């Protein structure tokens, strides 16, 4: 049988993770995998118990179609408690099957072929995939050290801004865990209103902060609901990555449009997962306090250790990744990563997988315990010494 492949399939961004998987399968070393941002901490026991209880009930297996009213109300209560943001659960919340699904489908709801979408470089790979699926045109805003890894809105040409339909932001970011200021978000809102652009803020790592006040929600800023949405997820903050549950919230008109699109894509998330998520929201402060203590300790250990080895680690006060420039700059980042797998048994992600501005950098996930991270540092140190001696 002759098979056909849509042109779209050649335009989707290449995934580095398949190559990393292949390289690790060939490796004969005991590997320390710091590539995928998959939480190694289990969900809170109360979350697991609730999920287990409800999966045994025969009535749990019907379609949910959308987020249940209980789930939407729990999201609204969580945002009121955590951020003092008032959300209408009936009209300003939309559940998605994880943030990846929501992010990839978002441009389909608002952008026509050729419309411009403003996105960061480097940026999370799902943004690029969503742009390509919608046949929109990306405009890349570089995240540079001299701008504290925040996009410079003043550098966007006026003709590009006039064509833009959507602006995608992510703080703390992936792969760059930068933090915005209130003033930055106020500037984003003014920019969006001036050019009539929808803003999407990806807040998947909002509970990962290590010092000072927690990251604020985009929706806390006056006027944010007028121009956009925030997407948040339970994957990282509550260790529910495999459960695939996240949500948009914000502008009711935009939520309604997304709801209309979603009605053609799926029949809702398994109700026991929704109920388990409600338990997570109800105990959010206690659960995420433990999370922050663990990840702060890992962040400090690894960033300090790498800096002692001559690495340049991007400053960060949150997120679940480190973004770093390695000392062996005569290698491109892909070569460096595969050399590290082969000779040191450490798995990282090349920064160029997230955009051209990520070249000569790597992303490191804080998904191993401190003892393992210390072993990783020791292996890198030994490998670097061997390279110098040769």
Residue 153: give its domain's CATH number.
3.40.640.10
Residue finishing a domain among 267, 285, 303 = 285
- Same domain for 33 and 77, yes or no, is no
User: What pLDDT sits at residue 231?
Assistant: 98
Judge whether 35 and 338 are in contact, CB under 8 Å.
Answer: no
* Cα–Cα distance, 209 to 192 (Å, whole number): 27
Decide: residue 169, CB within 10 A, 0-12 exposed, 13-18 middle, 19+ buried: buried
Domain identity same for 37 and 156: no
145 lies in the same domain as 292: no
Specify the pairing of strand 246-250 against strand 228-233: antiparallel
Question: What value does the CA radius of gyration of the chain take, rounded to a whole number of Å?
Answer: 21
Give the dihedral of Cα atoms 232, 179, 198, 259; nearest 10 deg: 0
Q: What is the mean pLDDT of residues 154-161?
A: 98
Q: In the prediction, which pLDDT does 248 show?
A: 98
In a domain, 3, yes or no: no
Q: Are residues 206 and 264 in the same domain?
A: yes
Give the per-residue pLDDT at 168.
98
Q: Give the residue from 234, 267, 285 where a domain finishes.
A: 285
387: pLDDT strictly greater than 80? no
Contact 93, 247 (CB under 8 A): yes
Strand partners, 246: 96, 233
Q: 258 and 208 in one domain?
A: yes
Distances from the Cα of 102 to the Cα of 51, 89, 97, 244, 367, angstroms: 23, 18, 7, 11, 24
Q: Which two tokens stand for residue 281?
A: 């929201």
- Contacts of residue 194, defined as CB under 8 A and 6 or more positions apart, other chains included, come to 161
| pLDDT bracket for residue 165 (50, 70, 90) | very high
Answer yes or no: are the C-beta atoms of 311 and 327 closer than 8 Å: yes
Lookup: tokens for 153:
């809105």
Instruction: Give pLDDT, residue 23.
Output: 85
pLDDT at 390 over 80: no
Cut 0.75: pTM above it? yes
Q: How confident is the model at residue 212 (pLDDT cuts 50, 70, 90)?
A: low
Q: Report, as an integer, the average pLDDT of 375-382.
A: 97
Distance CA 249, CA 257 (A): 12
- Whether 388 maps to a domain, the answer reads no
Query: Beta partners for 140?
Result: 119
Tell me the per-residue pLDDT of 310-340, one tens digit each, with 9 for 90 and over: 999 999 989 999 999 999 999 999 999 999 9
For the sheet with 312-313, list strands across it. 312-313, 321-325, 361-365, 349-350
Inter-residue contact 326 to 362 (CB < 8 Å): yes
253 and 147 inside one domain = yes
DSSP per-residue codes, 60-82: GGS---S--HHHHHHHHHHHHHH
Torsion sign (Cα): 49, 268, 204, 241: positive
- Quick check: 137 and 158 in contact, CB under 8 A? no
Q: Are residues 153 and 231 in the same domain?
A: yes
**Does an H or E element contain 248, and which?**
strand 246-250
Instruction: Provide the pLDDT for residue 323.
Output: 97
Question: Mean pLDDT over residues 174-193, rounded?
Answer: 95
Task: Say if 324 falls within a structural domain.
Answer: yes
Within this chain, do residues 36 and 93 fall inside the same structural domain, yes or no? no
Q: Give per-residue pLDDT as tens, 94-131.
A: 999 999 999 999 999 999 999 999 999 999 999 999 99
> Measured between alpha carbons, how far is 11 from 310 in angstroms, rounded to an integer?
37
159 pLDDT tier (thresholds 50, 70, 90): very high
Distance in angstroms (rounded) separating the CA atoms of residues 266 and 245: 13
pLDDT band at residue 18 under the 50/70/90 scheme: confident
Residues present in the chain in total: 390
Average pLDDT, the chain: 94
For residues 224 and 192, what is the distance between their CA atoms, to the nearest angstrom? 10
Query: What would the pLDDT profile of 264-311 be if each residue is shown by its tens digit?
Result: 999 999 999 999 999 999 999 999 999 999 999 999 999 999 999 999
Same domain, 311 and 262: no
Summarised one tens digit per residue, pLDDT across range 233-245 is 999 999 999 999 9
Residue 111, Ramachandran bin (φ over 0: left; ψ between -120 and 50: alpha; else beta): beta
Q: Any idea which residue has 């939480």 for tokens?
A: 39
Does a structural domain hold residue 101? yes
242 and 93 assigned to the same domain: yes
Cis before 175? omega within 30: yes
Domain count, the chain: 2
Confidence of residue 27 (pLDDT cuts 50, 70, 90): confident
* CA 73/CA 293 separation, integer angstroms: 28
What pLDDT shows up at residue 25? 85
Is 1 a domain residue?
A: no
124 and 202 in contact (C-beta within 8 Å)? yes
* Region for 188 from its dihedrals, namely left if φ exceeds 0, alpha if ψ lies in -120 to 50, beta otherwise: alpha
Work out the pLDDT band at 12, boundaries 50, 70, 90.
confident
- The CA angle 203-206-211, to the nearest 5 degrees, is 145
Cβ atoms of 34 and 175 within 8 Å: the answer is no
24 found inside a domain = yes
**Residue 312 sits in a domain of what CATH number?**
3.90.1150.10
- Whether residue 102 lies inside any domain: the answer is yes
pLDDT score at 216? 82
Query: Does residue 2 lie in a domain region?
Result: no
The reply to whether 206 and 308 lie within a common domain is no
Domain termination residue (choose one: 251, 285, 319): 285
User: Model confidence at 254, in pLDDT bands (50, 70, 90)?
Assistant: very high
Range of the domain at 177: 46-285
Whether residues 254 and 316 fall in one domain: no
Q: How confident is the model at residue 389 (pLDDT cuts 50, 70, 90)?
A: low
């Amino acid at each position: 049988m002759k098979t056909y492949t849509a042109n779209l399939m050649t335009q989707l961004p290449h995934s580095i993770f398949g190559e990393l998987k292949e390289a690790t399968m060939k490796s004969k070393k005991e590997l320390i995998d710091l590539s995928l941002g998959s939480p190694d901490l289990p969900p809170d026991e109360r979350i697991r118990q609730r999920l287990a209880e409800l999966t045994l009930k025969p009535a749990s297996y019907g379609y949910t179609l959308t987020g249940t009213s209980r789930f939407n109300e729990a999201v609204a209560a969580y945002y009121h408690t955590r951020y003092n943001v008032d959300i209408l659960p009936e009209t300003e919340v939309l559940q998605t099957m994880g943030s990846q699904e929501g992010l990839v489908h978002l441009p389909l709801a608002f952008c026509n072929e050729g419309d411009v979408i403003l996105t960061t470089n480097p940026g999370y790979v799902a943004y690029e995939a969503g742009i390509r699926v919608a046949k929109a045109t990306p405009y890349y805003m570089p995240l540079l050290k001299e701008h504290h890894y925040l996009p410079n809105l003043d550098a966007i040409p006026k003709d590009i801004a006039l064509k833009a339909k959507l602006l995608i932001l992510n703080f703390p970011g992936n792969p760059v865990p930068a933090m915005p200021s209130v003033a930055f978000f106020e500037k984003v809102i003014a920019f969006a209103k001036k050019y009539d652009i929808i803003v999407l803020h990806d807040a998947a790592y909002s509970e990962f902060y290590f010092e000072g006040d927690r990251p604020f929600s985009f929706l806390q800023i006056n006027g944010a609901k007028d121009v956009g949405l925030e997407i948040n997820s339970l994957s990282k903050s509550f260790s529910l990555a495999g459960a695939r549950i996240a949500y948009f919230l914000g502008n009711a008109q935009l939520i309604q449009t997304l709801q209309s699109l979603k009605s053609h894509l799926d029949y809702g998330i398994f109700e026991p997962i929704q109920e388990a998520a409600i338990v997570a929201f109800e105990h959010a402060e206690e659960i995420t306090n433990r999370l922050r203590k663990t990840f702060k300790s890992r962040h400090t250990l690894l960033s300090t250790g790498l800096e002692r080895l001559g690495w340049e680690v991007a400053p960060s006060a949150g997120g679940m990744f480190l973004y770093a420039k390695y000392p062996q700059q005569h290698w491109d980042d892909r070569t460096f990563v595969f050399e590290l797998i082969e000779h040191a048994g450490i798995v990282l992600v090349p920064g160029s997988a997230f955009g051209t501005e990520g070249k000569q950098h790597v992303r490191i996930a804080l998904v191993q315990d401190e003892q393992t991270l210390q072993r990783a540092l020791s292996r890198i140190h030994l490998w670097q010494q061997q390279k110098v001696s040769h």
